Amino acid sequence: MSCIFCDIVNKVEKAEILFEDESTISFLDIRPLNFGHSLVIPKNHYENFFDVGEKDLNAVISSTQFLANAIKKSLAPDGINIISNNGSSAGQTIYHFHFHIIPRFKNDHFTFRPQYKDYSNGLMQQFADKIRGGIKSFG
């Protein structure tokens, strides 16, 4: 199965690589929400956040923090979003786990406009119970 991010890892697909170590690689997103929008991926292939191995996940998180600090220093954004999209309804388009690092600027016209929901009677506890049930199922 072909994977464009594996191709970038294997250097058969071009990318503007920013940083690379033993288990991670980071490069500029070719469709940036703001200039400097970067991606950090494990070199090993995992579909998404749900199945990425713990060691590789820790490495990706460390590289993400390292690169976010480099972007903060070099581009002086007002803020940075770190995002992972998991599943098509969450906006995942490349099925090789990655973090987005998106530099943000005042008035950059890129906004999440969440419509917050209200928990009605007992609903909050129902959801908490469902999730705690999910946690127990791993036990």
* Dist CA 68 CA 82 (whole Å): 8
* Dist CA 2 CA 92 (whole Å): 16
Annotated active-site residue in 37, 96, 98, 100: 98
Three-class DSSP category at 20: strand
Q: Give the contact letters, 78-117, x = binds to Zn ion (CB under 5 A), - = no.
A: ------------------x---------------------
> Does 98 qualify as catalytic in the annotation?
yes
Q: Is 45 in the site for Zn ion (CB under 5 A)?
A: yes
**34 versus 92: smaller Cβ distance to Zn ion:** 92
Site for Zn ion (CB under 5 A): which residue of 3, 57, 61, 94? 3
- By CB under 5 A, which span of 38-46, 86-94, 100-108, 112-120 interacts with Zn ion? 38-46
For the stretch 79-85, contacts whose Cβ atoms lie closer than 8 Å and that sit 24 or more positions apart, written own/partner, are 79/103, 79/104, 80/104, 84/48, 84/49
Please identify every residue annotated as catalytic: 98
